[in-house]
Structures are given as C-alpha cells and as structure tokens.
Chain A
Amino acid sequence: MIKKLIPVYENQTPLVVLELIQGHKISEIMSTNVISVTPDITMRDVKKMMKDGGISGMPVVRQRRLIGIISVEDLLNALEDGLMDDSVEKHMSRNPVILEEQMPVSFAIDYFENYSYNRFPVLNENKELVGMLTGRDIIMHMVKVMNREIGRLEEIARYGHHTEIGNVIRRYAVVQNDFKNAGKASSEVKTLLQEHKVDRKVIRAVATAIYELEINQVVHSLGGEIVCRISDHYVEVLARDRGPGIEDIEKALSEGFSTATDWIRSMGFGAGMGLPNVKRVSDDFQIQSSTAGTEIKVTINLPVDNSAEKI
C-alpha cells in the first residue's frame, strides 16, 4: 500500500477539513464552460484550438457522450509522425478515467493522487459530459471555502457562538421594595442564554444590565416591569416604571451618585453604580424620564453565529 501524499484520511484529520472535502460535490467546483471537440476534426485543428485557448487537453465528444481525451502529448506524437491531418479519433486516448458530478471532492483528490492526468472529465447520471476538473479548480475552491470556514472559526474563537434562540419575549412585573424577588428576570434570562451556549462574558453583561434595572425599580420606583426581547443577534431590555421619575438624569448616570436611603445602602445597594453599570455593559442605552415614569431601553448584541450556515 502506497503511503498517501495528502494526509486527509487519517484519524487526526480535523473535522472541518474532512467536511470541506467530503461535504462538497464535484459538480460545485468543476469548470462547466468546457471546450470540447468532435472526433472528426483534424489534429491540425486541435493544435490551433489548444494554442488559441491556452489549454493542454480537451474532451472528445460525440452527441454529448464522451468518447476520449486529446492532450498535448497526443498532439506532439502526431506532429513528430507527420500525421497532423489525421482525425482526432485516431490519436485520442480512449476510455478516459472519468469522475461523476455527484462524487465528493475527496474522490477527485484521490484520483489526482492515483493517476498522473492533469484533468478529469466529469459526467452526469446520463453519462453525458458536463464539466472538466483540474487541480486548479480544486485549489481555487478550497481557498474559497477555507477562507470562509476559518473566518467563521476565528469568529467563534473570539466571541464564542451560540445555538439558535429564535425570538423570545419575557415580561416581569417588579414591585416596589420587593427585594426578595429582585433578580428573577436576570436569573431567568441568564439561564436561557446559558442553555443556548452564549458566550459567558456576554451573558454577564446581559445579567448585569437586567439585574441593575430590576434593583433600580425595586429601590427607586413605585413599581414597573421589565420586558426582555431575546433574539439570535441581540438582547433588548425595556425597563418601564410608574414614577416618580429621575430628577437629574445626568447625575444619575454618574458613578457614585445615589438617592438611596440608609437602609437600602445597608443592604449593599444604592452605591450609585447601578445605571453607570448598565450603560457600561450596553451596546445601546436610551433613557427618558418624567414624573410619570422612567423608561430605559438597553440593547446588548450577541456574538454573530454562523454555525447554521452551510459552509
């Protein structure tokens, strides 16, 4: 058994490489604008076609059926023997090794390794010639899919990736001074994101934002609600309360400023870090407030997930 030059069938081959060569069909990568010749033209005509087209081999076709391959080598032989006016049929190689369009690319790689030909004709189910495949086609295709796939892997390595979430809306009522239930919204959303394998850092950002908004409503408002809209690309949190509103929004957003009472502070809240924390972890932060209530809308982007996309 000859040792394979290309080590793609060994156990340690990365899955992504296996998928690249097994998961793509020859039909996706072959050249389809094939220049072919009929068997009755002369070798002189072939010489001109090859020279003009810059090609070194052509399939010979009769009524869409492949009957042979004519190459530069055949041409040189005919030239040497002075047989340039012979028909192609006399000089072509018969019974060429062919590939089928439904075969995976791995077959083609195998063929290039096992035979010395530079190109293979590709046939469809009806044995009709539908394309040609060269090493160049494979290289071009591989570079293209590798580029895409490695970009995707880099993205995942950088941000982590998550499974499909769809569109989820969660609504939580928040009651004034109800410390016991503060954290319900953030904890539930956190669990949901964990189930979808969202990156840990992003989960923390989301949890931080929701928790601070919950606590804010518990501590400062007459009650309100937190609405979380979770999609594959972002988490949007809308915190709406029934008043009494924030007197000075700019001050409320500066670290250390707090209007909390002493007993709230004694519980570890009211350090004046709530809203600044929310703003810091958000990709988008909007706030409006009047005596009728405060509305804060926060968006946190989830890492882009390409895992569903077929490579």
Chain B
Amino acid sequence: MKIFELNEKLGFELLTKCPESVITSAYTSDLLSDVMGNAPDDSVLITIQAHKNTIAVASLAGINAIILCNNRKAPEDMLPAAEKECIAILQTGLNQFEASVAVAKALDL
C-alpha cells in the first residue's frame, strides 16, 4: 500500500513530504538496535523515538515510514533528514499499541 493511502486510512498528521514508496509490513519498537536487527523491509515503524538517529536506523533497515506516537514532537533536524532519506513521518496521539492496531487494520495484516 502506498504511504498516502495508508495515511488516508489512519488519519494521522503527516509531517514530511509523502514519498511514493510502498508499505507492506509494520514493526513496533523503541529499541533502535532491535529495529535495526528485526524490522522487515518496506515497513512502517511505530515508535516514540523522535530523533534523528531513528531516521538513520530506518534508512538502513529499509523502513519507509515512521509513526511517532504519544504526540512526541520531532526535533528540528529530524524532518529534513527524513525527507532526504525519502522516509515519511507521521504523528499521532495514540500510543504504540493503539497505533499498531490501527496500522494492522489499515494494512489488513
């Protein structure tokens, strides 16, 4: 599913430009090494880690979108880094569990 379609279903706030890439899976974790080691390719990451290193990990792990939960604010340097790596950042007031459930429904997982 294209990122914009996913976000239409989720109704979260899109903080970056929307890349054309596709999401086929999801991973929920706040441990970046865990994300690095285990997140599937072409996935959306559901996390509260709102900082630039999350972008680095996402980019290396083949993650195409990040959902920041609990309305965590993205620091200034995070958004340009995400756009440079063609990663979409979405923000929501839901916690990681609620966001995961919403994503699972949207992706029909």
Contact = CB atoms under 8 A, between A and B. Distances in A.
Given A182-B56, A211-B60, A267-B49, A273 B77 contact: no
A183 B77 CA distance: 15
B60 A268 contact: no
B53 A212 contact: no
Interface in B8-60: 30-37, 41, 47, 49, 51-54, 56-57, 59-60
Interface in A173-191: 179-180, 182-183, 186-187, 190
A271 interface: yes
A60 interface: no
Given A182-B56, A208-B60, 11 more contacts: A179-B51, A182-B53, A190-B59, A211-B56, A211-B60, A212-B36, A267-B51, A268-B47, A269-B32, A271-B31, A271-B33
- Interface hub of B41, B56, B77 (most chain A Cβ within 10 A): B56
19 contacts: A183-B53, A183-B59, A186-B56, A204-B41, A208-B60, A211-B56, A212-B33, A267-B49, A268-B30, A268-B31, A268-B32, A268-B33, A269-B33, A271-B32, A273-B31, A273-B34, A273-B37, A277-B36, A277-B37
A280 interface: yes
Given A183-B56, A187-B59, A267-B49, A274 B77 contact: no
A64 interface: no
A207 interface: yes
Interface of A: 179-180, 182-183, 186-187, 190, 200, 204, 207-208, 211-212, 215, 267-269, 271-274, 277, 280
A183 B60 contact: yes
Contact of B52 (A180, A208, A211): A180
A57 to B, nearest CB: 61
- Interface hub of B33, B35, B49, B59 (most chain A Cβ within 10 A): B33
Q: Name the 4 nearest CB pairs between A and B, nearest first.
A: A183-B56, A273-B33, A268-B32, A271-B31
A280 B33 CA distance: 12
B37 A268 contact: no
Chain B interface residue count: which class? 20 to 34
Contact of B77 (A180, A186, A187, A207): A180
A204 B61 contact: yes
A182 to B, nearest CB: 6
Contacts of A187: 56, 59-60
Contacts of A207: 60-61
A281 B16 CA distance: 32
Given A179-B53, A200-B41, A271 B59 contact: no
A272 B57 CA distance: 16
Contacts of A271: 31-34
Contacts of B60: 183, 186-187, 190, 204, 207-208, 211
A174 B41 CA distance: 28
Contacts of B59: 183, 187, 190
A295 B57 CA distance: 23
Given A273-B31, A273-B33, A277-B33, A268 B53 contact: yes
A274 B37 CA distance: 9
A144 to B, nearest CB: 38
A233 to B, nearest CB: 22
Contacts of B33: 212, 215, 268-269, 271-274, 277
B6 to A, nearest CB: 22
A200 to B, nearest CB: 7
A180 B51 CA distance: 9
A299 B57 CA distance: 21
A211 B57 contact: yes
Given A212-B33, A273-B37, A267 B53 contact: yes
